[in-house]
């Protein structure tokens, strides 16, 4: 196919003598002797351009223009199927593409770098750009004007002491900017050392001992602290506050971040400084108050620790991002400190601390060392004039897990209708706050449906009766409404905010026979049967005792008198009967008789 128009055709120079023109070639799918041919022609001089075209990714052609300053260059591409042209008209002084700066060197202070470089474009005023790569990866660009000298320079200020910066330079023509040169080779430069800036962040842990106290001191570089040099060391100094005794001090290399000193019960002033080859940083101060209950010679008693032992730990909650801790702010303190152990079960426990401003009353404490199921204890201090006082204690988990152990059932008390369980369980060092216990009961041969219980279905589909004890200090429970002579399975589980572990084993019991049933059987069946048997055996005697024969009046001796009848009834004449005693009820009756 015919050739396409040369794309991106332009010309430029580095020294205003050698001009190089470049363009993009199209694909004509013609090769060998039919491949496209390029011809460059300068219109102002009406001459063919004496250059050899070379093509790879781009085509280019370079030649010496001598003293000519205005150019009108036409490139023609042709093959057997046709030809196309492209033109570029330019002033050579407007198309200068400078050579890259070279031979960089510098002069440094602690906060400044003066960078020098050479260039090959003598007699041309250049505009240069210096790229500064900061330690944090950010890039800054600084512009400067070059001179006609053999070298140029720029001063970079506001730098950090004893810090590495990577710089490189490129330039363009100042008067008629065409394009930037290539970058110079990059050069890494370190500023000089200076006095450490800022203060160390320091903390302490006090342990009472016989006759005094052991104070473990910790220090770390705060975000605002800069070492500003190499060969960092730390100097720890302590002295009594009251009597102005001679200070004691000790130095440590940069690999140390803690030490332990022994002091008596007086109040002490402790300072820690960082030191490099130039000087020391400002001191960080801690005041260790007089020990509680210790009266000094001037009868001054510091009470910063009074009531410390009486503080009760309050529970705090964990989140996906850390453990949330809050406290009651007090206006008398200028800052607050929270400390904790990253590894509570280890010694040393990797004590950590964090400082907060006077207007802060809560914080989200996080650490890469925090894991689920581990209990972390936090102490909150208020600090005023470098004196710290313990204010509150908190304890919590990043996330609670089910208990690691099951309660140990130590005693089982059985009756026919109830069982009382007693167990032992230590609440410390658990994987969560133990909220209470669950007691599970079920007959071995069937599902459970005891009165007052809740149903709990196991993975195999069997149903247990579940009872909840919400007081973790209550370690005794009575299950009622059982059946006599029945085999039951039991389990006791502790539960936390993370739930409880699955039931893997049971304890089995057999309820005893109910003796009251036997007594009732004796009273209702055996005794009546025995009485009936005796009665049957002694029927005649019983009949005579309980049901005697009633005598007939006709056989009574009272009727053995001479008969005197009135009608059909026998009548007894009083004269025929001699009574033993006669009783008259009334005078009227006596008169009638």
pLDDT tens readout for residues 145-192: 876 667 889 999 999 999 999 999 999 988 889 899 999 999 999 999
Rounded Cα distance between 69 and 76, Å, is: 22
Q: Over the stretch 533-587, which tens digit does the pLDDT of each residue have?
A: 776 776 666 666 766 666 666 665 555 555 556 666 666 666 666 666 666 555 6
Q: What's 322's domain CATH number? A: 2.60.40.10
Q: Which domain holds residue 280?
A: 200-293
3-state secondary structure of 373: coil
Taking alpha carbons only, the member of 454, 444, 511 closest to residue 482 is: 511
pLDDT digits over 487-534, tens only? 999 999 999 999 999 999 999 999 998 766 556 555 666 767 777 777
Residue 553 pLDDT:
62
- What confidence score (pLDDT) does residue 394 get? 96
Looking at the domain assignment, is residue 195 inside a domain?
Answer: no
Spatial separation of the C-alpha atoms in residues 517 and 87, rounded to whole Å: 123
Percent of the chain at pLDDT exceeding 70: 83
Residue at 22 is within a domain: yes
* The Cα angle at residue 449 between residues 447 and 455, in degrees rounded to 5: 85
124/206 same-domain check: no
Instruction: Note whether residue 372 is domain-resident.
Output: yes
Q: Is residue 578 part of a domain?
A: no
As a whole number, mean pLDDT of residues 45-53 equals 88
- Shared domain for 279 and 209, answered yes or no, is yes
Q: What is the pLDDT of residue 300?
A: 35
Pick from 359, 365, 360, 368: which is nearest to 377 by CA? 365
Name which of 394, 466, 469, 402 is nearest 433 in CA terms. 402
Mean pLDDT of 112-129: 88
**Structural domains of the chain, count:** 5
- Strand duo 313-316 + 387-397: pairing: parallel
pLDDT of amino acid 369: 94
Predicted confidence band at 420 (pLDDT cuts at 50, 70, 90)?
very high
Highest mean pLDDT: which range of 19-33, 65-79, 283-297: 65-79
Q: How far is CA 242 from the centre of its chain?
A: 43
Residues 127 and 160 in one domain: yes
Whether residues 205 and 289 fall in one domain:
yes
Q: What is the pLDDT of residues 385-407, one digit of tens each?
A: 999 999 999 999 999 999 988 99
- Residue 464: name the closest of 487, 441, 484, 480 by CA: 441
- Residue 184 in domain: yes
- Terminal Cα distance for the chain, rounded: 177
pLDDT of residue 476 exceeding 50? yes
pLDDT band, residue 303 (cuts 50/70/90): very low
Residues 169 and 228 in one domain: no
The pLDDT tens digits for 243-299 are: 777 899 999 999 999 999 999 999 999 999 999 999 999 999 999 999 876 544 333
Cα gap 268→206, rounded to integer Å = 12
- What sign does the dihedral 523-528-533-537 (CA atoms) show? positive
**Directed axis angle between helix 527-537 and helix 539-546, to 10°?**
90
Burial 78-103 (b: 16+ CB within 10 A, else e): ebeeeebebebebebeebbbbebbee
Which among 32, 63, 94 is the end of a domain?
94
- Gap between the Cα atoms of 212 and 191, Å rounded: 47
The answer to the question of residue 471 being in a domain is: yes
Q: Which of 493, 511, 529 is the last residue of a domain?
A: 511
For residue 264, give the nearest of 204, 329, 337, 214 by alpha carbon: 214
- Is 0.75 surpassed by the pTM of this model? no
Which burial class, exposed, middle or buried, applies to 546 when counting CB atoms under 10 A from its CB (0-12, 13-18, 19+)? exposed
Distance CA 464, CA 445 (A): 12
Same domain, 316 and 360: yes
Query: What's the pLDDT at 295?
Result: 47
Cα 131 off chain centre by: 42
Q: Which residues have C-beta within 8 Å of that of residue 379, sequence separation ≥ 6?
A: 338, 339, 340, 390, 392, 393, 394
Provide the pLDDT for residue 479: 94
pLDDT at 60 over 50: yes
pLDDT at 407: 92
What was the pLDDT predicted at 308?
A: 44
C-alpha of 7 from chain center: 61
305 has a pLDDT exceeding 60: no
> Does 300 map to a domain?
no
Q: For residue 307, what pLDDT is reported? A: 41
Per-residue pLDDT, 293: 61
Residues shown for the chain: 593
Quick check: is 364 in a domain?
yes
Q: Inform me whether the pLDDT recorded for 43 exceeds 80.
A: yes
- Angstrom distance (rounded) from CA 70 to CA 92: 6
Across the range 407-412, mean pLDDT stands at 92
Compute the distance between CA of residue 580 and CA of residue 96 in angstroms, rounded to an integer. Answer: 177
Q: Do 207 and 281 fall within a single domain?
A: yes
Q: How far apart are CA 398 and CA 240, in angstroms?
A: 41
Question: Is the domain of 209 the same as that of 287?
Answer: yes
Q: How far is CA 11 from CA 72, 89, 101, in A?
A: 10, 9, 22
188-238 pLDDT, tens digit per residue, is 999 999 999 999 999 999 999 998 999 999 999 998 999 999 889 999 999
Q: Kindly list the distances between the CA atom of residue 312 and the CA atoms of 51, 118, 379, in Å, as whole numbers in the listed order.
A: 93, 73, 11
The mean-pLDDT minimum among 20-29, 57-66, 162-171 falls in 20-29
Boundary of a domain, candidates 482, 511, 540: 511
Q: What is the pLDDT of residues 74-93, one digit of tens each?
A: 998 887 778 888 999 999 98
Residues 171, 154, single domain; the answer is yes
Same domain, 124 and 81: no
Distances 471 to 434, 436, 438, 440, 463 between C-alpha atoms, Å:
9, 5, 11, 17, 25
Instruction: Please classify residue 579 by burial: count the beta carbons closer than 10 Å to its beta carbon, then call 0-12 exposed, 13-18 middle and 19+ buried.
Output: exposed
| Same domain? 236 vs 264 | yes
Average pLDDT over residues 82-109: 91
Residues 289, 327 within the same domain: no
323-381 confidence digits (pLDDT tens): 999 999 999 999 999 999 999 989 889 999 999 999 999 999 999 999 999 999 999 99
């Amino acid at each position: 196919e015919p050739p396409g128009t040369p794309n991106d055709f332009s010309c430029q120079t580095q020294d205003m003598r050698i001009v190089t023109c470049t363009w993009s070639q199209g694909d004509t799918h013609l090769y060998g002797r039919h491949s496209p041919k390029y011809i460059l022609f300068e219109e102002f001089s009406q001459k063919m351009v004496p250059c050899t075209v070379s093509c790879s990714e781009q085509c280019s052609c370079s030649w010496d223009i001598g003293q000519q300053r205005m150019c009108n260059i036409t490139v023609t591409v042709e093959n057997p199927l046709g030809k196309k042209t492209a033109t570029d008209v330019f002033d050579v002084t407007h198309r200068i593409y400078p050579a890259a700066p070279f031979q960089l060197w510098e002069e440094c202070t602690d906060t400044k770098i003066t960078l020098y470089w050479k260039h090959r474009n003598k007699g041309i005023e250049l505009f240069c750009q210096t790229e500064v790569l900061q330690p944090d990866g950010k890039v800054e660009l600084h512009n400067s004007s070059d001179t006609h000298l053999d070298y140029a320079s720029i001063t970079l200020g506001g730098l950090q002491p004893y810090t590495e910066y990577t710089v490189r330079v490129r330039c363009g023509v100042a008067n008629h900017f065409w394009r930037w040169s290539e970058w110079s080779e990059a050069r890494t430069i370190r500023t000089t050392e200076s006095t450490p800036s800022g203060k160390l962040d320091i903390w302490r842990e006090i342990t009472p001992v016989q006759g005094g106290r052991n104070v473990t001191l910790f220090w770390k570089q705060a975000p605002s602290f800069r070492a500003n040099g190499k060969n960092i060391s730390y100097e720890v100094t302590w002295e009594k506050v009251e009597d102005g005794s001679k200070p004691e001090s000790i130095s440590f290399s940069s690999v140390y971040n803690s030490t332990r000193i022994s002091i008596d019960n007086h109040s002490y002033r402790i300072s820690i400084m960082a030191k490099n080859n130039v000087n020391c940083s400002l001191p960080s101060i801690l005041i260790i108050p007089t020990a509680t209950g210790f009266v000094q010679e001037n009868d001054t008693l510091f009470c910063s620790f009074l009531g410390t032992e009486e503080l009760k730990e309050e529970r705090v909650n964990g989140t996906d991002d850390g453990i949330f801790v809050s406290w009651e702010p007090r206006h008398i303190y200028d800052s607050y400190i929270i400390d904790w152990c990253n590894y509570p079960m280890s010694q040393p426990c990797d004590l950590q601390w964090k400082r907060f401003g006077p207007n802060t009353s809560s914080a989200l404490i996080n650490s890469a060392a925090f894991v689920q199921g581990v209990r972390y204890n936090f102490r909150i201090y208020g600090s005023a004039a470098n004196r710290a006082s313990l204010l509150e204690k908190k304890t919590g988990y990043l996330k609670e897990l089910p208990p690691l152990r099951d309660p140990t059932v130590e005693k089982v008390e059985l009756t026919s209708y109830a069982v009382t369980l007693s167990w032992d369980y230590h609440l410390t060092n658990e994987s969560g706050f133990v909220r209470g216990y669950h007691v599970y009961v079920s007959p071995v041969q069937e599902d459970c449906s005891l009165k007052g219980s809740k149903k709990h279905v196991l993975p195999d589909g069997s149903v247990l009766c579940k009872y909840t004890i919400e007081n973790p200090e209550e370690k005794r429970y009575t299950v009622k409404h059982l059946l006599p002579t029945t085999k039951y399975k039991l389990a006791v589980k502790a539960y936390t905010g993370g739930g409880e572990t699955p039931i893997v084993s049971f304890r089995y019991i057999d309820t005893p026979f109910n003796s009251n049933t036997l007594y009732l059987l004796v009273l209702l069946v055996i005794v009546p049967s025995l009485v009936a048997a005796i009665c049957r055996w002694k029927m005649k005697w019983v009949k005579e005792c309980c049901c005697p024969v009633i005598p007939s009046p006709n056989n009574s001796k009272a009727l053995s008198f001479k008969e005197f009848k009135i009608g059909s009834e026998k009548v007894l004449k009083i004269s025929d009967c001699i009574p033993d005693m006669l009783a008259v009820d009334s005078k009227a009756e006596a008169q009638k008789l």
